[in-house]
Structure 1
Amino acid sequence: MLRKKSFDFFKAMEHLSTNALQASTVLDEIITNFDADELPQKSTTMHQIEDAGDDDIKKIMHELYVSFITPIDREDIVQLVDKLDNIIDGMDGLTYEFAYLHIHEMRPNTNQFIKLICDAVASVDQAVKEFSHYKNSKTLDQNIENANKIESLGDDLYTKNLSLLFAEETDPIEVIRWQKVYAGFEKVLDACEDCADIITGLVIKNS
């Protein structure tokens, strides 16, 4: 009788981080080449990635329930999966905000936000992929540090652009729109830092 192959929790989490990386690429395309008419179609791709991530999470949770042994504590897997989900949800949420806030064009410096987001998600993705062999990894610490540094840069960019928004924009509706969008950008960067911090804690715990 063939024995069932054990579920690879690390690979499952890596797949989830790959989903986040794909989502950042879609968000980059939406923002860099923003076209309100094309937003619904491009957003559909983002929503599909988010749905795939939800399916991955359901599978991981099911396996946590039925598996006798897990490579790290169950609650630690849940915690890391939740943080990865927050990154994807944050990017998906931005596409909804662009739609219901009736964004017609990107403001100056918006490209700086998406660059930070793409870099932060890429660092998290690499950190997740290195996590399974953290004892021998030569790049895990650097990727975690990168995610934290990028979040700090994001805080500065958020403060600067919010200040310019209130100082220069005379349309109160436009102020409300972009205050929400900037907060959405910062939320994604915060989620990346949270994920990196969780990995740091799990490395310490399991060392």
Structure 2
Amino acid sequence: MIRKKKFDFFKAMQHLADDALKASKVLTEIIENYDPDQFSEKCQQINDIETDGDEDVKKTMNELYVAFITPIDREDIVQLVDKLDNIIDGINGLTYEFYYLNIQEMRPETDKFMDLINEAIAAVQQSVAEFSHFKNSKTLVQNIDNTNRIESLGDELYTKHLRKLFSEEENDPITIIRWQKIYGGFEKVLDSCEDCADVMGGLVIKNS
């Protein structure tokens, strides 16, 4: 009788982190070459990644139900998987906001939000890669701290652009409403990265 291969929970989490970075890269391409009449194909790519992530989450939860032994506590796996999934959901959500808010062009420095998001997700991805051997990792804590640092930079950028939005340089209330939501979407993704990093930091302490 062939024994079923043991499910690799760390590998499943790594796949989610990889998907988050893939989605972030596609969103960067959308923003750098923004065309409201042409971006549906790229948006579908992100939606496909998000759907793939949902399948990974479902499979991981099903494996948790039947696993006799897990590498860390079950509730901790659930929490970390959920935080990783939130990052992908946030990126996917931004594409819907571009659509239903009828965004016709990017505002100046929008790409700076994506620079920070890409950096934060890359730091999360590296943290997840190191998490399975956290006791011997020399870079895990550094990557967690780096994610928090990037999120703080995102807070500053968010505040700066909200101030510009509500200053006298912008007089159209519809534009203000639209971009307040868009900036909030960028901030939400960065917050999700920080949440994920904080969970890993807490689990390192718990399991040390």
Q: Please, what TM-score do these two structures have when normalized by structure 2?
A: 0.98
Measured against aligned partners, the alpha-carbon deviations of 1:17-54 in whole angstroms (never above 9, x if no partner) come to 11101011111111111111122111000000000000
Q: Which residue of 1 aligns with 2:177?
A: 176
Q: CA deviation at 1:159?
A: 0.3
Give distance in 2, aligned partners of 1:15 and 1:154: 25
Measured against aligned partners, the alpha-carbon deviations of 1:113-154 in whole angstroms (never above 9, x if no partner) come to 000000000000000010001011111111101100000000
Q: Give SS of 2:189's match.
A: helix
Amino acid at match of 1:54: D
Structure 1: stretches of 5+ with no match in the other structure:
none
Q: Give SS of 2:135's match.
A: coil
Q: Which residue of 1 aligns with 2:191?
A: 190
Number of matched pairs: 207
Give distance in 2, aligned partners of 1:37 and 1:139: 43
Amino acid at match of 1:185: F
Question: Counterparts of 1:44-193 in structure 2 under 5 Å?
Answer: 44-167=44-167, 168-193=169-194
Give distance in 1, aligned partners of 2:74 and 2:31: 37
Hey, which bits of structure 1, 4+ residues long, moved more than 6 A? none
Q: Give SS of 2:69's match.
A: coil
Give distance in 2, aligned partners of 1:42 and 1:5: 36
Give distance in 2, aligned partners of 1:173 and 1:83: 32
Give distance in 2, aligned partners of 1:57 and 1:125: 16
Give distance in 2, aligned partners of 1:93 and 1:198: 23
Q: CA deviation at 1:109?
A: 1.1
Q: CA deviation at 1:4?
A: 1.2
Give distance in 2, aligned partners of 1:3 and 1:101: 52
Give distance in 1, aligned partners of 2:170 and 2:109: 15
Measured against aligned partners, the alpha-carbon deviations of 1:71-112 in whole angstroms (never above 9, x if no partner) come to 000000000000001100000000000000000110011011
What is the aligned-residue RMSD (CA, Å)? 0.6
Give distance in 1, aligned partners of 2:74 and 2:38: 42
Q: Which residue of 1 aligns with 2:33?
A: 33
Does structure 2 retain, via aligned residues, the 8 Å contact 1:39–1:99? no
Alignment partner of 1:205 is 2:206: yes
Q: CA deviation at 1:202?
A: 0.5
| Percent identity over paired residues | 69
Amino acid at match of 1:84: L
Amino acid at match of 1:181: I
